[in-house]
Structure 1
Amino acid sequence: MKYLVLLALSSFLCTGTFAEKVNLNLPARLLASGTTGTTTGFNGDFMWPLYTNQRGFIYTNAQSKYMRDQSWFTGISAGTRQVLNAQHVLGAYLFFDTNTTKNKKNYWSINPGIEGIYSHWDWHVNGYLPANKRHSALKSAWADELGDVRYVKFSGHKQFDHLFVDTEIAGKGVDAELGYLFSENQLRLALGGYYFDFHDLGHMNGIIGTVEYPLNQRITLLLQDSYDNVRRNTCMFSVRLRFGEIPSTRGIETRLLEPIRRNLATIDNGTSIPNERGWLDNGQSLVEKDHLWFFKPGGERYLVTKELENCTAEHPCDNTQLTQAVVDNISALDPTSDLYLASGIYVLDPGASERISMNPGQAIEGREDGYLLPALEDKFKPLLIGGLDMNGDNLLADVAIDKSVDENLFRSFTAEFSPSNVPQSSQTVALTIRRNNHIIREITIGRPNDSNGYITGISVAGAREAGIAFTRIFVGNNNVRKLTGVEVTRMGSVDIDGSFITVRANSDPNSAAQTIATGVEVNSNSTLWFLRSELDIGGNFANQSSLASDVTAQGIWVKDFSRSIVNRSAFFIKATNANRQLGLNASATAIGINNATNPGLINPAVSAVDNNIGERGGFNVESIASFGVASAWGILQPVNASSIVQRNNRFNVRRTGTRQVGQNVGP
């Protein structure tokens, strides 16, 4: 690179010795281009001759480019173009560019170049040198968070790993181009290449072809196509406008004000130098997590006298030790303890409450593969039998919670299987959330097609800032008239994101009580954010009975001055009443969002925004009453409620019955 700089400087000193005297009259010129293709943007190029004599001129050139990804550069140069023997032009220049990448990182660069221009042929060579910092850190992550567990180690209550830094590196390199100009129509064809080194992130080398065709002296069309080992193929089309006086000279002098050909590697980037982004290892084993307490089937007994020597990575505690007394003792020793549970079955507080109450600040996480990975798949999730209570600043992730064990699953964990020793629990609520700041992530509650499962999946009782993400909830019971997936009460606030809730309620033929299946119930001045999630709610009366039977299935039930925000979610609601006994009003009611019991609202209680996510998006609501009233609403609201704010909602509301009531939105 230093030889290119020396060659550029020497051209300033030596051109006068060989130059032929010509008559030059060179005005300033401005080029403005708009470009589109792989991306879109625009650039400007202003050349101002500072000193002109009979041999050539010295100029300053300002350039700038801006692209849609908000990357841009501005550069200024000093240069010269000298006419040699009235047949060709030799030029040299030195640019100083300031660059801003799409990641809002800034750096300077020094870019020297030389060029030769003939009647038909021209060549150009450029160098690119970042002048200040080449490396810019964007963010950091542990190797296991990036899916690489090679560096994960455990010792005592600690987890060690390598820290990787998301780094952007400005390239250092060269480009060159050879072009040919056809005198008949001024069409120019060019072929170029470039090479850039990104230090720890490898290198880039590629080729580029250019076609320039002037429609007239003011307008030129450009087509550029490049291919390299980093970005693969890039194609850009530009329209370039020329402003300023058109010189009346002929011969080689007509090419003196041509644009400087450079930045070949960044035709779709706003910077003058390409940059590459990647993760770099810092090379050190650091403490990623502390306060870890390890459990697994076949582990050791928890002894109070051992204190911090319990449940270490080297000596995990047994899965039978997950009792309330152990959890409380761990919290007393380590208030921010994180319980790492290996795959297996964990009966919560057996022989006592069948529930575990997490202390404020505690966490429970399911792990697999020797604790290396979070247990994302159901077959690897630790199965907790019973119920859990969260009491403030808790994390619950990557576990399954159920009342009992599927026999096939139990066999996979236990060699000595008999129906008498299958764990069972009498709990009716899987998870209770109290106080504030909870995270529930990637958990499974209940199981599909369970006729004796939980009555309520999650109860949020006055908790604020509770987040439920990527969670599956299955609630089903044939012996209870009212089933709810998630209940939010006492001014609670919960975000449900990327989750799936299934509720199945089947009526008892010997009871006249109404059967109600609800996905999410929001009451007592509470708030629900329901985002990118799916509700599959079914209420069913399949028998013949002499008792009146009513079935209601509803996705979200908003009442008592509460508020619900729904965005990009799917509702599948179905109520079926097959009772055909004469003289009975066997009704079936299906509602996507039930806002009818939320009176006196000034602001809308339900805001269903962009609730269409492809084929499975929107409201799919169906009611079937074999002999009675079939009622179905997409969104049901009281007469005096404000209009519901909604966009892009899709409704598929169907009713089958001797009498039909309902509509997409309305009272």
Structure 2
Amino acid sequence: MKLQLSVLVIALLKVQLSHASIFNQHEETSTNTYHSRITGQLLSGGEQQLGGFGDAMMPLMQNQNNLLFADGTVMLGQELRSTVSGGLGYRGIKQAGLSQGILGAYLFSDYYQTRLKNNYWQLNPGLEWLHERYETRLQGYIPLSRRNQTYRHTYADDIPERVLRDSGKSNHLGGARGHSLIDTPVNLLEEFGPGVELEAGRFIDYGKGFWLRAGGYHFSYNHAKNINGIEGNIEAFINDHMSLLLQNNYDNQNQNRFAIGLRVNFDGSSALPHSLESRMTAPIIRHLARQSYGDALPTRRSFQASGPTTVLFNNVWFFSPDGTLPQGRATTLANCTAEHPCSTIDTPTAAQIALLTPDAQLFFATGKYNILPNAINQNNWVNLQDGQSLLGRNTGWMTTATGNNQPLINGSLIWGNSNPIIASGAVYNMRVNNTTVTANIVSTGYASNSSTNNSVMSVSAFNSMTLTRATINTKFSGNVKGTGSNNATYGIQTATIADSIINALTSGNTTNGTSNPVFGIVANNAVVTGKIINAKNKGTIDGMSTTGALDIVTSNQLIFQSNTASFIKAISLNGTQPVSAFARLAYNLTVQPTV
């Protein structure tokens, strides 16, 4: 603050000394031709444009042809934008060729508070040439404060799209890269910079008279794209004190902005309107680039790393509906990357991924994925490898998918088989729908000690299975000859189910069969927490001995964590009466309230 005031004081003394002889020379004929002038302006338009200023000019020294003045401005906009500005200026009537004009020079100091609550000082020098019918004004903006100021701390993954767009920079500090997810703490910056504005105008003597003006501006920034723009305005006089303003700006930040407003002037020169002398106290119109917003200058938003980069997830293989088909046994580390994701997963690709990077995490972005039949798996199921997990992510893979944004897999996910190949797996934040029969080589038995010739399973693991915030739907509508089974989730040893929705529905018929049960969860041991488990059997059984719908089937222990058991729904519409897992097939049952 002291620096800016000192600059103004020095400038005032310098101007007074250099021009003292000019004013003294005409002192004997000098009269107070020029008086204090007050100007007010308000502009409004689309895209939240609303800004105005109040400006006052006070003569310090004068004669008929020369004026030394002080000027102060207060400019306001929405969201607490404000600018307080003070300065000194000189105007003198000079001979130029066959006509006269006014040569002016001024220097202002601006204190600007932005909508992001940053504070900024700048100098605003300018030169002008004023005529009854013409005018030209050139002015600059010189930073006195830091050119980038932090307004928020965040991480690279959370940089708003507007900031990325405004900065013109690519975000290499966070996101999916290769087979990893990285993130970096960053400062979000408001960028200030030096600038220049040039405007020229022509007075049209029609009606009350009006000015046509056009100009351009340029501002540069350290960590963001420069701003280049043009502006034009019409000032149409309504009377001697009021005029109508039509203004349009176009630049590479805001694109097109049109605003309309009013300008009022009181006192100033006692000369005739639109005469050369009347222009000696004409307002100095500044801040052309963002006048309709009440901003002292345009600013940019940018970002800068504030700490080291962290690897959030490694050993990640990426999948997207817009990806390319998996390469099976030809898969290398160049496949299924963030830059080149795969479009689905199949058995050969899962096996090759396990060889390259054991315990891989398979990240699926929002969208639909079909498990396709292949030479190994004739039906729509994939044999996954021990330790592989599937995770549902939003587009871009950086955040967890929820609701309808969870990826949808059409087909069956099987870890291991009954050869036996023991494998464990996990599914997080995904939806799985399956309606096709799983091959006998995979499912010849399950935890409730039954056997099956035809099983329909959505998610199965021949060791332990973990489901978290998943939706698993299994539906079988075909006819079964012999023994059939419908399992939504199937874990030979342990099933851990948390905040998931399990639906199993059978509507087909069984002939010459002994069993056609519908199971929600099948495991030796199960830990179940919350949400919905729904098993329903609508089929007819011929020659049956066992059928029904069972939500949870365990042969050892079930730990059931919930504040209510009301979400359990076991329905058998044909065949035997409903059979609850709690009554018949759960051993060592423990019911625990959720925390």
Cα distance in 2 for partners of 1:102, 1:152 equals 29
> Residues 68-124 of structure 1, C-alpha deviation per residue, up to 9 Å, x if partnerless?
354332222122223335942222211111223333322111111111211111111
Cα distance in 2 for partners of 1:115, 1:260 equals 9
Q: Which one of 171, 180, 185 corresponds to residue 202 of structure 2?
A: 180
> Residues 208-260 of structure 1, C-alpha deviation per residue, up to 9 Å, x if partnerless?
11100121123211111122233222211112233x44653223221222211
Cα distance in 2 for partners of 1:266, 1:477 equals 63
Conservation of the 8 A alpha-carbon contact between 2:125 and 2:139:
yes
Cα distance in 2 for partners of 1:502, 1:11 equals 86
Conservation of the 8 A alpha-carbon contact between 2:269 and 2:278:
yes
* Amino acid aligned to 2:285: R
Q: 1:481 to 1:201 in 2, by over 3 A?
A: same
Cα distance in 1 for partners of 2:258, 2:196 equals 20
Q: 1:446 to 1:252 in 2, by over 3 A?
A: same
Conservation of the 8 A alpha-carbon contact between 1:105 and 1:136:
yes
Cα distance in 2 for partners of 1:381, 1:150 equals 35
| 2:467 corresponds to 1:445 | no
1:630 match = none
Provide the secondary structure at the position in 2 that maps to 1:425: strand
2:444 match = none
* Amino acid aligned to 2:44: T
Cα distance in 2 for partners of 1:154, 1:23 equals 76
Cα distance in 2 for partners of 1:405, 1:546 equals 22
Provide the secondary structure at the position in 2 that maps to 1:255: helix
| 2:83 corresponds to 1:73 | yes
> Residues 251-302 of structure 1, C-alpha deviation per residue, up to 9 Å, x if partnerless?
32212222112212213433212112235579x9x54226856799999xxx
Alignment of 1:141-156 (within 5 A): 141-142=155-156
Q: Which one of 503, 522, 531 corresponds to residue 475 of structure 1?
A: 503
CA drift at 1:525? 8.9
Q: 1:183 to 1:153 in 2, by over 3 A?
A: closer
CA drift at 1:182? 3.0
CA drift at 1:366? 6.8
Cα distance in 1 for partners of 2:317, 2:250 equals 53
Cα distance in 2 for partners of 1:504, 1:239 equals 71
1:198 match = 221
CA drift at 1:127? 0.5
* Amino acid aligned to 2:506: N
Cα distance in 2 for partners of 1:108, 1:341 equals 52
* Amino acid aligned to 1:57: L
Alignment of 1:475-494 (within 5 A): 475-478=503-506
Cα distance in 1 for partners of 2:226, 2:317 equals 46
> Residues 303-336 of structure 1, C-alpha deviation per residue, up to 9 Å, x if partnerless?
xxxxxxxxxxxx98659976xxxxxxxxxxxxxx
Q: Which runs of 5+ in 1 are unaligned?
A: 300-314, 323-338, 351-355, 357-362, 387-395, 410-417, 434-439, 462-467, 485-491, 495-500, 517-521, 527-538, 550-667
Conservation of the 8 A alpha-carbon contact between 2:235 and 2:246:
yes
1:288 match = 310
Provide the secondary structure at the position in 1 that maps to 2:294: coil
Aligned length: 432
CA drift at 1:142? 3.9
Cα distance in 1 for partners of 2:277, 2:41 equals 24
| 2:460 corresponds to 1:425 | yes
Cα distance in 2 for partners of 1:163, 1:383 equals 40
* Amino acid aligned to 2:460: S
Provide the secondary structure at the position in 1 that maps to 2:289: helix
Provide the secondary structure at the position in 2 that maps to 1:81: strand
Conservation of the 8 A alpha-carbon contact between 2:130 and 2:136:
yes
Q: Which one of 51, 60, 73 corresponds to residue 63 of structure 1?
A: 73
Q: Which one of 141, 152, 158 corresponds to residue 128 of structure 1?
A: 141
| 2:115 corresponds to 1:107 | no
Conservation of the 8 A alpha-carbon contact between 1:65 and 1:73:
yes
Provide the secondary structure at the position in 1 that maps to 2:54: strand
Alignment of 1:327-338 (within 5 A): none
Provide the secondary structure at the position in 2 that maps to 1:264: coil
1:91 match = 104
Cα distance in 1 for partners of 2:101, 2:474 equals 81
1:262 match = 286
Q: Which moved more, 1:91-100 or 1:42-51?
A: 42-51
| 2:80 corresponds to 1:45 | no
2:252 match = 229
1:171 match = 193
Conservation of the 8 A alpha-carbon contact between 1:143 and 1:164:
no
Conservation of the 8 A alpha-carbon contact between 1:190 and 1:211:
yes
Q: 1:235 to 1:401 in 2, by over 3 A?
A: closer
Provide the secondary structure at the position in 2 that maps to 1:254: helix
Alignment of 1:391-406 (within 5 A): 400=430
Q: 1:24 to 1:152 in 2, by over 3 A?
A: same
Conservation of the 8 A alpha-carbon contact between 1:158 and 1:289:
yes
Conservation of the 8 A alpha-carbon contact between 1:24 and 1:52:
no
Conservation of the 8 A alpha-carbon contact between 1:400 and 1:445:
yes
Q: 1:507 to 1:257 in 2, by over 3 A?
A: farther
CA drift at 1:385? 4.6
Alignment of 1:294-333 (within 5 A): none
Cα distance in 1 for partners of 2:124, 2:250 equals 22
1:273 match = 297
* Amino acid aligned to 1:122: E
Conservation of the 8 A alpha-carbon contact between 1:66 and 1:73:
yes
Q: 1:295 to 1:214 in 2, by over 3 A?
A: closer
Conservation of the 8 A alpha-carbon contact between 1:507 and 1:515:
no
Conservation of the 8 A alpha-carbon contact between 1:45 and 1:61:
no
Alignment of 1:204-219 (within 5 A): 204-219=227-242
Q: 1:292 to 1:380 in 2, by over 3 A?
A: farther
Alignment of 1:11-30 (within 5 A): 13=18, 17=22, 23-30=31-38
Q: 1:236 to 1:62 in 2, by over 3 A?
A: same
Cα distance in 1 for partners of 2:255, 2:176 equals 38
* Amino acid aligned to 1:212: E
1:564 match = none
Conservation of the 8 A alpha-carbon contact between 1:108 and 1:131:
yes
Conservation of the 8 A alpha-carbon contact between 2:91 and 2:103:
yes
Provide the secondary structure at the position in 2 that maps to 1:272: coil
Please tell me whether Structure 1 or Structure 2 has the larger radius of gyration of its CA atoms: 2
Cα distance in 2 for partners of 1:426, 1:240 equals 76
Conservation of the 8 A alpha-carbon contact between 1:50 and 1:58:
yes
CA drift at 1:207? 1.7
Provide the secondary structure at the position in 1 that maps to 2:281: coil
Q: 1:241 to 1:373 in 2, by over 3 A?
A: closer
Q: 1:261 to 1:385 in 2, by over 3 A?
A: same
Cα distance in 2 for partners of 1:210, 1:107 equals 28
2:589 match = none
